[in-house]
Amino acid sequence: MALNEVASAVLVVWFVISSLALIALLAVVAVTLVKLQTKLEEITERVDPLLTKTDILLNVAEEKLRVVGDRAETLLTTGEEIAITVQDRVEKTTGTVQRTVNAPIIQANALMTGLSQAWATFGALSDKKARTVMPTETSPIDNDKKQEVKIYGG
């Protein structure tokens, strides 16, 4: 099958135009890629120092946090040891205070209570002796009491 000359010319023109369009499209894509590459290089140049500074800051922060963590751990350990020591000393001091202060106070309180009771008893006996008068005769009431004592007493 042979094509006539007009059809061949149309096909050739069609291929040439479509080839030129494809070449132009590829040129636009290539220029766009070059511009994009340039922009990426500019952004990379701007971001690299920031990333470097950020990396340095993160390293410094990590070091500081490690040091603070170590100090905090040391402080917690020391605080725990101090708390245990204080607790032991408080217990010892409490026992010592109880032995040296509370026991004598309790003994003194008991002594004062005993002396108060003795003084009250002495006062009651003194008052009873002062009130007692030697009876010359026994009353019938006294005889009844003596009778009761004999009955219950044996």
Dump pLDDT digits (tens) for 61-89. Answer: 999 999 999 999 999 999 999 999 999 99
DSSP, residue by residue, 43-68:
HHHHHHHHHHHHHHHHHHHHHHHHHH
The pTM (predicted TM-score) of the whole model is 0.39
Distance CA 92, CA 79 (A): 20
Distance CA 20, CA 97 (A): 109
Distance CA 47, CA 44 (A): 5
Place of tokens 């009353």: 139
Residue 23 to residues 13, 78, 149, Cα–Cα distance (Å): 15, 78, 148
Distance CA 129, CA 78 (A): 74
When the pLDDT of each residue in the chain is averaged and rounded to a whole number, the result is 84
> Does residue 49 have a pLDDT over 50?
yes
- Three-class SS of residue 128? helix
> In this predicted structure, what is the pLDDT of residue 107?
83
Domain residue extents for the chain: 5-117
> In this predicted structure, what is the pLDDT of residue 140?
54
Q: What percent of the chain has pLDDT over 90?
A: 51
Dump pLDDT digits (tens) for 126-144. Answer: 777 766 644 555 555 555 5
